[in-house]
Each structure stands twice: as C-alpha cells, then as structure tokens.
Chains A and B, each alone.
Chain A
C-alpha cells in the first residue's frame, strides 16, 4: 500500500521522531511511504541515510498530491486542505488514521479504534479512525522494529562505547540524560556525584543544563559528564542499551527506554493544570503492578521528583533497590515484547476497516 504520513513539528523532536520511526518501519515491511513534514531539518542527524521505501516531502507539496491508500495524521495534525479535498472523490477513499498520543490511561483502551465522522471541512463525509499507541492488547501497541530485541540481546556495551570514543572507568555507573528545560538536573548531578558516575548528556536542554551545573570542567566530585553529539535513532537506542539508568522524555525516547530493558525515569511533557502527572501515575500503576512494594515506592519517588511533583528521593539513585529496579525493568520489557508491535496492529487495523 501507499501510505501518506503527515507530521507537524511543534517542538522538541518527538513528532518527527515518532513519524520517522513509523515510516521506516512500514518501509521495512514492504510498504511505500510518503512522509509529509513541515520541518525536516532534524532528519539530517536523526536519519541521515533515509530508509527503504520512504520518501520525504515538504508539507505544502501535498497540496498538489493525491492520497494513497492510507493517510495518517500524526497527533491530530490536520493534513493540508487541498490534499484532503480530493480524498472524498477517490474510490475507494483512503483509510484515514489519526495516530494519537501514547498514554497508559484507561481512556485509551476505550477510545482506541473508534470511528471519528468528519462532519465539517474538506474531508466532510469521510471517516477518520483514532489509533492509540498503548501498553495493552486493547490498544495499538508500541513501535518495535523486527529484530530489535535480538539486536538488544547481542549488544556489546563496551564495544559500542569505545566506538563512540567514550571511556568508562571501573565501577563507573553510566547514566544518559535527555530532558526538558525544567528538569532538576542540578539536583540530579549533586546526588549522583556521590558515586562514580559518567553522565552522558544529549544535545539541547540536557547538555545545556549539565554544563550550567558543572561549568567548563564538566566534573563534580565523582561525576564526569560528556556532552554527546546528535545521535541517529539506532545510535540513541544503543546509548540507552549501554547505560545503567536512563532519563528520557516525551514519547519516542520513553518507548525506546522500555525496549532497552534498563532502569529509566520518564519526564512527561509538561501540560496545563499538571494533567501530565496523571499520565505518569497511570503508567507507573501498570509498570509497577508486580513490583515489590519497597521497589515500587523507590521508583515512584524518583519519577515523582523528576516530574516536579515530589521531594528528592532518599538514598542514591535507587540505593538498595537498584537490583530490584533492574528486575522490574527487564520484566516489563519482556512482557511488552511478547505482544504484537504497533506497526503490525496498524496494518491489521487498516485491513479490517478498508
């Protein structure tokens, strides 16, 4: 099938990150994909070699295009009106999907797969379908490329670090940092500096905040920090695989941290009225469902603090619960990996509604 994926880059890199990953995954399965994006600049470092089956186009080039078999608007971004105007005249009309935001909240299961009649505008009369990524069988699942878990199992962290020119010292704990501008990085550094730590900070807010906290030396007590260059998506995966503790944010890196199988702390995209904290709580309720109470409490205290809703946790980065946290993370990854991935479910869904 020919897929049209529409992506508007609002802020940060999550929009293009998710859309590119979906496009590439579809392309790897033999689908033809046109990715229509208003700002493709991040692809220069995120995916410099492109992907098989995927063509990238400027947003307004779609004004003159006719839709393929499936149209995906990512995160409700409303494709250009001229493109949509031609859709009702097609026979058959393309399957129109709104790829929604990921959440562990209960409403996702209730809303996933529902029709959304288009009652106004250029697409009037068509039906859009809401497709929600999620963590359960009753949602759209999570993007997971074929062979990902095998690559993860075969990964050699030492070799990869060496290839990146990163030397980790004996007993040094590796932490990755990818965060929004209001993350309490100074406090994290102050806490982490009590133990041998190599902090790998991604470009943007993470590096900026780390450099502001550490100064030119990029060191404090037992903590060293390296400001990383922009990484491709596969290389970012390997960063997460190599680290003992990952601080991630938004949607794409949040999912990738779960495939890494290592302890991680997620910073949710901040929203009005603090509603993002409900999303954090909803995820933790699922993620920690089988965890021992003390482990769950320790993990929750880190997540709550990192999202600005609680005090700095006691102990050092999980302390006595470190091993238990690793077990929780691995168990979670295994359970997610046992379920069909998002692209598989999306293909099945399109086949059903077509």
Chain B
C-alpha cells in the first residue's frame, strides 16, 4: 500500500551502497488508477503488504498485450504485459508461477526465487580464469542479459536469483 492505494511493483533495482548497506528502488503502479511512481527504500525498511490471493499456474502464451496463465483445472488468467515487471525476463513455456489476484483480478505474477536458464550467447571463456571474479554479460532466450563469471559458456545452464538477477551457479 502506498498512500492508501494498493500498488503493484513493476520493477525493482537492488543496489549495494556503502558499508554493506543496500537500497531497493521500485517502480510502482496503482491498481486503482494505473498511475505510476518511483520510490526507494533501505533494504531493511518495513512496509505494509496487501494480502493478496495467489494461485499456482503455468505460463501458456502471449497475446499482446496480455500474458496468459493456466491453473491445473485449465482455468485461464490474463495479466497485462505492463504489470508483468521483471517476470518477463525469465518466461518460458509451461513455466510454473504464482498468479497474484487483487479483488478477483489477476494483476501480476510471482516467480520462483530462482530459475535455471540456458545461456544463449556469451563471449567465449578466457582460458585459465576460473576465479569467478571477472564477470561478463550473458544473454538468455528472452534477450535478458545478466553478468556471469567469465568461465560460463554459451549453452551452459545457469541458476539465477530472480529477485536480484544475480548468477548463482552453473548447473
């Protein structure tokens, strides 16, 4: 809730500040009037969360501008692409998600905290560098790029933290 308006978080940016602190910048959209705003919080700030209904579904297809999801009883729910937020970066067919509802309407999706995705392209690995400290961009099937250690190669499957978009490990 923000100023008594229920908001959906469209984008988040987690940033490390000084002295092991962190902040989170959010792009919000009102569920009532579609107005948007950007805010920032310290990573340990407390906030009110609206209690929402959630349902396990899988991703079915995209019919612009709606993303369609289906539950295990073949009920279909559609979420506006604008409300998909960062979930779009990791979508693939039949992917399990939680569809989030407000007042009976599907408003967004929540991803698992980590996913495994194939690297569709990254620059060839530098021989000998196994430290994992040198990073390079790697592209996923959705076109989304995340930094990965230099030893990761095209075709590798990697585990990604969907909350911070950080590489966790090669699978």
Q: Answer whether residue A103 sits at the interface, using C-beta atoms and an 8 A cutoff.
A: yes
Q: Answer whether residue A313 sits at the interface, using C-beta atoms and an 8 A cutoff.
A: no
Q: Answer whether residue B38 sits at the interface, using C-beta atoms and an 8 A cutoff.
A: yes
With contacts A110-B13, A119-B1 taken as known, whether A130 is within 8 angstroms of B40 at the C-beta atoms is: yes
- Of B18-26, B74-82, B94-102, B122-130, the one with at least 4 CB within 8 A of chain A: B18-26
Chain A: interface residue total (CB-CB under 8 A): 30
Q: Is the CB of A116 within 8 A of B39?
A: yes
CA distance A336 to B40 in the complex (A): 27
Q: Answer whether residue A251 sits at the interface, using C-beta atoms and an 8 A cutoff.
A: yes
Q: Is the CB of A76 within 8 A of B21?
A: yes
Q: Is the CB of B15 within 8 A of A105?
A: yes
Q: Answer whether residue B35 sits at the interface, using C-beta atoms and an 8 A cutoff.
A: no
Please name all residues of chain B whose beta carbon is closer than 8 Å to the beta carbon of A115 when the two chains form the complex: 37, 39-40
Q: Is the CB of B19 within 8 A of A114?
A: no
Chain B: interface residue total (CB-CB under 8 A): 24
Q: Answer whether residue B113 sits at the interface, using C-beta atoms and an 8 A cutoff.
A: no
Please name all residues of chain A whose beta carbon is closer than 8 Å to the beta carbon of B64 when the two chains form the complex: none
Most chain A beta carbons < 10 A, residue from B1, B2, B16, B47: B16
A75-129: which residues lie under 8 A (CB-CB) from chain B? 75-76, 98, 100-103, 105, 107, 110-111, 114-121
CB distance from B38 to the nearest CB of A (A): 6
Partner of B23, one of A100, A251, A271: A100
Q: Is the CB of A120 within 8 A of B23?
A: no
A28-80: which residues lie under 8 A (CB-CB) from chain B? 75-76
With contacts A105-B15, A275-B16 taken as known, whether A114 is within 8 angstroms of B21 at the C-beta atoms is: no
CA distance A111 to B24 in the complex (A): 9
CB distance from B163 to the nearest CB of A (A): 16
Q: What is the chain B residue whose CB lies nearest that of A114? A: B40
CA distance A271 to B16 in the complex (A): 10
Please name all residues of chain B whose beta carbon is closer than 8 Å to the beta carbon of A116 when the two chains form the complex: 39-42, 45
Please name all residues of chain A whose beta carbon is closer than 8 Å to the beta carbon of B18 when the two chains form the complex: 75, 101-103, 251, 269, 271, 279
B1-37: which residues lie under 8 A (CB-CB) from chain A? 1-3, 13, 15-21, 23, 25, 37
Please name all residues of chain B whose beta carbon is closer than 8 Å to the beta carbon of A100 when the two chains form the complex: 17, 23
With contacts A111-B40, A114-B40, A119-B47 taken as known, whether A269 is within 8 angstroms of B19 at the C-beta atoms is: yes
B38-73: which residues lie under 8 A (CB-CB) from chain A? 38-42, 45-48
Q: What is the chain B residue whose CB lies nearest that of A275? A: B16
CA distance A102 to B17 in the complex (A): 8
Partner of A121, one of B2, B17, B39, B46: B46
Q: A101-B17, A107-B13 are in contact. List 4 more A-B contacts (CB 8 A).
A: A110-B13, A115-B37, A120-B48, A274-B133
A-B contact pairs, 25 of them (CB 8 A): A75-B18, A76-B21, A100-B23, A101-B19, A103-B17, A105-B15, A107-B23, A107-B25, A110-B13, A110-B25, A111-B13, A111-B15, A111-B40, A114-B39, A115-B37, A116-B40, A117-B2, A117-B3, A119-B1, A119-B45, A120-B47, A120-B48, A121-B46, A272-B20, A275-B16
**7 nearest interchain CB pairs?**
A101-B18, A120-B46, A119-B47, A107-B15, A114-B40, A101-B17, A275-B16
